[in-house]
Structures are given as C-alpha cells and as structure tokens.
Amino acid sequence: MCYLRENGPVAYELDLFAANPRERTDAMLSAGLEWSWRSPSRDWTELSRVSLSAFLADVAAGEILLAGTEPDAPHHILDNVVIKDWIKRFSRLQPSPLVALIGVRSGKQLLYVQQHASDSVNRLLDAWGLDKGSAERRSYARLGPLALESLADRL
C-alpha cells in the first residue's frame, strides 16, 4: 500500500519486521545509509551490528521510530528536537539529512521516503523487494494521525 500526495514524501505500509526482521535489518545496514532508532524504552541509538540485538528486541516490542540518513549526517547530536526539525524539513521538501523514516506503531509499519528517493534509498527498496509501481495507492490524507507531520508533533 502506498499513500501518495502531490508533493513531498510518500508512505508505504509494509510488513518490514514481522516475518524476517534480521534479514530486513541486514539490508538496511548494507544499503549505504546510517540509521538511528528510538523506542519507548530507549533514547536515540545508532543502529549497527553491535546494537542489532537491542534493535530487534525493540522491534519485537512493537513501537519504534527509525531515522535513515546519508552517512555524513551528525548522529552524535540526535535528540527529539533535532529529529523533529529534520522531519519537518523532509516533509516540506527542504534540505534535510533525513532520507527515510520508518514508524512502527499501532500494528502498522510505515516507511516514509521522498517520491524521488536517492539511489541509496532505491537500492534498499529493491533489496526489500518493494515494487513501487505495483503498490496499491491511497490518498496520503487517509493516514491521519500516522502522517509524517503528526509523527514530528508527537516527539
């Protein structure tokens, strides 16, 4: 399922981590992007091979927010204020280190990317087997409280 809008990021509703979370996460770590996540029990943490088991435990608990950036983004300063600013700029098509965001909440797993994503993001989508052209399309407005802008407001 793809939630489309005229301009700005789109959201894909996927089953990213239910069936093969380790395999999906390995693809993320190999895609050339940097990832950090936050969960109710953990502040922003960089995703790496060392933190993988903690990440998989948080995914299994059912609620995370995962930010993907190009490798040169300043991960050492991540906090809710920084991420909120990145999300707002990302959603307005303004320059932002953010290139992808994954929200797992209320039983839904949503991937937010720009309509014209970077090569690194497109390689990751290919590794996950996401066929953007065949995804069922819905209006972005139907996301309601799960829209990208609402995620930023909750931080």
Q: What is the pLDDT of residues 87-99, one digit of tens each?
A: 999 999 899 999 9
**Model confidence at 54, in pLDDT bands (50, 70, 90)?**
very high
Q: Count of CB atoms within 10 A of residue 83's CB?
A: 22
**Model confidence at 38, in pLDDT bands (50, 70, 90)?**
very high
Containing 10, the helix (H) or strand (E) segment is: strand 10-13
Calpha distance 125→130 (Å, rounded): 5
Pairing verdict, β 108-113 and 137-139: unpaired
**Model confidence at 67, in pLDDT bands (50, 70, 90)?**
very high
Instruction: Quote the pLDDT of residue 139.
Output: 92
Instruction: Quote the pLDDT of residue 76.
Output: 66
Q: What average pLDDT score do residues 31-47 get?
A: 93
Calpha distance 58→118 (Å, rounded): 27
Residue with the larger pLDDT of the pair 106 and 128: 128
Q: Is residue 75's pLDDT more than 80? A: no
Which pTM does this prediction carry?
A: 0.91
